[in-house]
Amino acid sequence: DVKVTQSSRYLVKRTGEKVFLECVQDMDHENMFWYRQDPGLGLRLIYFSYDVKMKEKGDIPEGYSVSREKKERFSLILESASTNQTSMYLCASRAGRDYGYTFGSGTRLTVV
Protein backbone atom coordinates (compact mmCIF):
# COMPACT_ATOMS: atom_id res chain seq x y z
CA ASP A 1 0.00 0.00 0.00
CA VAL A 2 1.04 3.54 -0.71
CA LYS A 3 1.97 5.40 2.38
CA VAL A 4 1.82 9.14 2.78
CA THR A 5 3.41 10.17 6.04
CA GLN A 6 2.96 13.55 7.65
CA SER A 7 5.58 14.33 10.24
CA SER A 8 3.31 15.60 13.01
CA ARG A 9 -0.22 14.69 14.03
CA TYR A 10 -0.67 17.72 16.29
CA LEU A 11 1.27 20.95 16.32
CA VAL A 12 0.95 24.14 18.37
CA LYS A 13 2.80 27.22 17.18
CA ARG A 14 2.89 30.86 18.11
CA THR A 15 1.75 33.71 15.91
CA GLY A 16 4.58 34.92 13.70
CA GLU A 17 6.55 31.68 13.79
CA LYS A 18 7.75 30.02 10.60
CA VAL A 19 6.17 26.59 10.42
CA PHE A 20 7.23 23.60 8.35
CA LEU A 21 4.82 20.75 7.63
CA GLU A 22 6.51 17.74 6.10
CA CYS A 23 4.99 15.09 3.86
CA VAL A 24 6.71 12.01 2.49
CA GLN A 25 5.31 9.37 0.14
CA ASP A 26 6.92 6.02 -0.57
CA MET A 27 5.50 5.02 -3.95
CA ASP A 28 7.37 7.22 -6.40
CA HIS A 29 4.28 9.32 -7.16
CA GLU A 30 4.74 12.28 -9.44
CA ASN A 31 1.86 14.36 -8.09
CA MET A 32 1.61 15.75 -4.57
CA PHE A 33 -0.89 18.14 -2.99
CA TRP A 34 -1.50 20.16 0.14
CA TYR A 35 -5.04 20.83 1.38
CA ARG A 36 -6.49 22.42 4.44
CA GLN A 37 -9.76 21.18 5.86
CA ASP A 38 -12.07 23.37 7.92
CA PRO A 39 -15.62 22.63 9.15
CA GLY A 40 -18.19 23.67 6.59
CA LEU A 41 -15.54 24.60 4.01
CA GLY A 42 -14.47 21.14 2.90
CA LEU A 43 -11.05 20.52 1.39
CA ARG A 44 -9.31 23.55 -0.07
CA LEU A 45 -6.24 23.22 -2.25
CA ILE A 46 -3.24 25.26 -1.14
CA TYR A 47 -0.43 24.16 -3.47
CA PHE A 48 0.40 21.22 -5.67
CA SER A 49 3.40 19.81 -7.48
CA TYR A 50 3.68 17.51 -10.47
CA ASP A 51 7.44 17.09 -10.42
CA VAL A 52 10.55 17.84 -8.44
CA LYS A 53 11.17 21.58 -8.11
CA MET A 54 7.82 22.27 -9.72
CA LYS A 55 4.99 23.95 -7.83
CA GLU A 56 1.65 25.45 -8.69
CA LYS A 57 -0.70 27.61 -6.63
CA GLY A 58 -4.02 26.16 -5.66
CA ASP A 59 -7.12 28.04 -4.56
CA ILE A 60 -5.77 29.52 -1.31
CA PRO A 61 -1.96 29.96 -1.53
CA GLU A 62 -1.72 33.25 0.38
CA GLY A 63 0.46 32.97 3.45
CA TYR A 64 1.94 29.65 2.34
CA SER A 65 4.83 28.40 0.27
CA VAL A 66 6.05 24.93 -0.65
CA SER A 67 9.24 23.09 -1.40
CA ARG A 68 9.82 19.94 -3.41
CA GLU A 69 13.52 19.22 -3.58
CA LYS A 70 13.04 15.45 -3.82
CA LYS A 71 10.29 13.47 -5.51
CA GLU A 72 9.11 11.80 -2.33
CA ARG A 73 8.96 14.90 -0.13
CA PHE A 74 6.62 17.89 -0.36
CA SER A 75 6.87 20.48 2.38
CA LEU A 76 4.35 23.17 3.25
CA ILE A 77 5.73 26.34 4.81
CA LEU A 78 3.78 28.94 6.74
CA GLU A 79 6.03 31.96 6.44
CA SER A 80 4.58 33.77 9.45
CA ALA A 81 1.87 31.78 11.17
CA SER A 82 -1.39 33.52 11.96
CA THR A 83 -4.38 32.40 13.99
CA ASN A 84 -6.53 32.06 10.85
CA GLN A 85 -4.17 29.32 9.72
CA THR A 86 -5.33 27.11 12.56
CA SER A 87 -6.66 24.11 10.66
CA MET A 88 -6.25 20.47 9.68
CA TYR A 89 -3.63 20.15 6.95
CA LEU A 90 -3.77 17.15 4.65
CA CYS A 91 -1.09 16.03 2.23
CA ALA A 92 -1.97 13.75 -0.68
CA SER A 93 -0.22 12.06 -3.56
CA ARG A 94 -1.32 10.24 -6.68
CA ALA A 95 0.36 8.24 -9.41
CA GLY A 96 -1.35 10.14 -12.21
CA ARG A 97 -4.62 11.56 -13.42
CA ASP A 98 -6.51 8.26 -13.57
CA TYR A 99 -5.69 7.33 -10.00
CA GLY A 100 -7.19 8.20 -6.66
CA TYR A 101 -5.47 10.36 -4.12
CA THR A 102 -3.77 8.78 -1.13
CA PHE A 103 -3.96 11.09 1.85
CA GLY A 104 -1.73 11.32 4.87
CA SER A 105 -3.22 11.20 8.36
CA GLY A 106 -3.19 14.98 8.61
CA THR A 107 -1.58 17.56 10.87
CA ARG A 108 -3.85 19.50 13.17
CA LEU A 109 -2.14 22.86 13.54
CA THR A 110 -3.12 25.33 16.21
CA VAL A 111 -1.67 28.83 16.06
CA VAL A 112 -1.91 30.74 19.32
Partner 1 sequence: GQQVMQIPQYQHVQEGEDFTTYCNSSTTLSNIQWYKQRPGGHPVFLIQLVKSGEVKKQKRLTFQFGEAKKNSSLHITATQTTDVGTYFCAAWFLSGNTPLVFGKGTRLSVIA
110 binds partner 1 (CB under 8 A): no
Query: With b meaning 16 or more CB within 10 Å and e meaning fewer, what string describes 69-78?
Result: eebbebbbeb
Cβ atoms of 2 and 15 within 8 Å: the answer is no
Question: Rounded to whole angstroms, what are the CA distances from 68 to 54, 76, 82?
Answer: 7, 9, 23
Q: Is 84 helix (H, G, I), strand (E, B) or coil?
A: helix
Minimum CB separation of residue 14 from partner 1 in Å reads 26
Nearer to partner 1 by Cβ, of 50 and 82: the residue is 50
Mark residues 45-84: x for contact with partner 1 by CB under 8 A, - for none: x--x-x-------xx-------------------------
Nearer to partner 1 by Cβ, of 42 and 69: the residue is 42
101 binds partner 1 (CB under 8 A): yes
**DSSP type of residue 30:** S
Give residues in contact with partner 1 (CB under 8 A).
Answer: 31, 33, 35, 40-43, 45, 48, 50, 58-59, 90, 96-98, 100-106
